[in-house]
Structure 1
């Protein structure tokens, strides 16, 4: 869990130190950390309640456009995690590059990294482990078999990696900006 003194100092451009980040594992097709694809919003909120609290929601949880943003407990700065739902079930999790949990995939750190360095490591990982490698129209690397797109997010004067993880029902064309299921707002440049 993030240390209390680090929480008090968070500003809009503050990047949480690696040692202060919550640690989550990505399980391809299943979920990330305590979040499991298919959970309801209430189940998702309960599963992360020790480290994250909901700060905003859009749409009804039965609607296709439902989403919720979660901030670190004890902060009021921009969200650490954004969740998206389809027909009331968790279908997508986007992790903030600046303050989100550190997500690992078989030891490969996905959050808050220099995008070009992560892209090289991700390319090696997909090739070695028999996964596809795709690119979005914005040149973001990703994989349908893993259900992940590695987006970039502004952190002041630099950009860092922001993974967007999807359930199997959203994995097909997950790297496609126009035909995939990832909501439009996730394809916009993130500045918080």
Structure 2
């Protein structure tokens, strides 16, 4: 009988003054929101400063769960979707999805709240055993040929070990990971 793999978690939180987003929108208009939001996020936010501030905080919090802050990934690679229930959900694209796969990140739950002058978000990531070492997403670009061979060998050994244990790799394989677990995504609270 097999037991569930051990899990670890990562936590990210961010708070931002709504007025900071308002001033940025006044100065740069839709150019700013187009740089930060995916097209579907932009349709939902419609340059409302409070809503954009909440999305900004959620993206920052999720990037902290991935251990990156916003370095190494684009703002639009972390998408904050709105479920039919109104709850926010995280969808990862590109390098953010690759990082989640690298970490063995099963899902990221997010909660967004607004209070007068501030928007705050907290993200909670569940990581299962089998995640890889915590290399930066652009590690291969920084390596010389010898280091690339060593990294490739580590990857082969890790894959062989996982196969021998009967556990395949975890995370998304497509580079585009949806992580909406409606039971754990509550706007403003967690059950």
TM-score for the superposition, normalised by structure 1: 0.28
More helix by proportion, 1 or 2?
Answer: 2
